Structure 1
């Protein structure tokens, strides 16, 4: 049976999520009618919470889910932690990423896993979220956070997705793919084939790690897509690849939640 409410019938609001290091501002959106819905934890790209991301979360809510989008950089202040243009072109993208790089480095794997626990505890207590397992999805740097959350909290995460992720299977001793052996969720990844942050050798390494660990997974390479292909307020947006991502993500959620 479809979980979808009437088109556009969603209710979004700003919320505050307590963590061990402070309070994370976040966006919560859910169907406007009915009872609690299965929960999805949504990790943004480096540009963070902004109108285009809220629109993505609302689309998930319209499909029948309660969606939490935390500002993962809350230690630096409320979102956005850097002033963003309405449209992020290639020139502004580079400037913004250089400004955000120190903030991204501050979110260490240990802090990310600690925060994941706080977000999941908040969802467990949220009246609009159904009890039971949750799903996680992430974009760009958020794809790594999705993988880390699935590995750090296997008892809570039934599905984990990531799209145009970077450095998912690097040579670093804390690379996200090294958590594959702890994952019990079904996993879905959509990679951009024109993405220098995830070269073919890392795609193969991630696939091998998931396979060797016996993780149910589907990893696809989107031909012709670049890093950031789901982000409609950036020059990297690719409508065809974005719609393919929606089909993959919603299919995963329907199976797992």
Structure 2
């Protein structure tokens, strides 16, 4: 993975070593909002790598969202443009990329030996879960925020891999998100419990899908700030 295929955030502390965190973006991909999020997480004392998940479909610049994501119309148009590549990123490809993502993060200057964290947003939440299942010796903490379709009746549903995970999880669901209804949340929580995994799962009130993304019309400040607090506590406890 080359330098242009990822965003990196670093603490501003003179180059000491810190734990590493993978950040998996939403369907709109790498952009200034993701850099801002990576930098904020890095300010807590982590080296953050946000990989370009759609590297098979084009460069970051080629796939950059068109239009104004802060309007409902602009956001919906961008979703329509992104869905082809989202559907093409199959579970097998996510698992194949997981080794490269972990290696790229561990290869960055300033990343300490030891457990890694992962945080994912929208579709990136499922990527974070699958990465933890595929790399249990590496990923010790996972945050998943406003992710959809984490627990379905599909044979490749993300929750079915949790038997292989050893991470602690924090899930934050949006109560206005039809892609993660109450019955899916219940199935996810039941599966986590069955496998003896440490987890917290909450449904944020009045929250739309995508509530953390300050550059879109779905942004909700209360939910976004709550997510940062819960993610920070998780990473501090496990890394």
Short-chain TM bin: over 0.9
Alignment gaps of 5+ in structure 2: none
- Alignment match of 2:186 (pick from 183, 187, 204): 204
Equivalent in the alignment of 2:5: 25
Equivalent in the alignment of 1:105: 87
Aligned residues: 237
- Alignment match of 2:168 (pick from 186, 189, 212): 186
More relative contact order, 1 or 2 (CA 8 Å, 6+ apart): 2
Contact kept? 1:187, 1:218, Cα under 8 Å: yes
Report the TM-score when normalising by structure 1.
Answer: 0.89
Equivalent in the alignment of 1:243: 225
Q: Tell me which protein shows more strand as a share of its residues.
A: 1
- Alignment match of 1:159 (pick from 118, 141, 147): 141
Equivalent in the alignment of 2:108: 126
Q: Mapping of 1:193-232 within 5 angstroms?
A: 193-232=175-214
Equivalent in the alignment of 1:16: 2
Give a deviation string over 1:115-162, Cα, whole Å, max 9, x none.
Answer: 111010112222221111100000000000011011110010010110
The 2-side partners of 1:239 and 1:82 are apart by 24
SS in 2 for 1:144: helix
The 2-side partners of 1:89 and 1:165 are apart by 21
Report the TM-score when normalising by structure 2.
Answer: 0.96
Contact kept? 1:45, 1:141, Cα under 8 Å: yes
**Are 1:77 and 2:58 an aligned pair?**
yes
Equivalent in the alignment of 1:141: 123
Equivalent in the alignment of 1:4: none
SS in 2 for 1:225: coil
RMSD, aligned CA: 1.3
Alignment gaps of 5+ in structure 1: 1-14, 18-23
- Report the Cα offset of residue 86 of structure 1: 4.6
SS in 1 for 2:150: coil
- Report the Cα offset of residue 90 of structure 1: 1.2
- Alignment match of 2:38 (pick from 57, 64, 73): 57
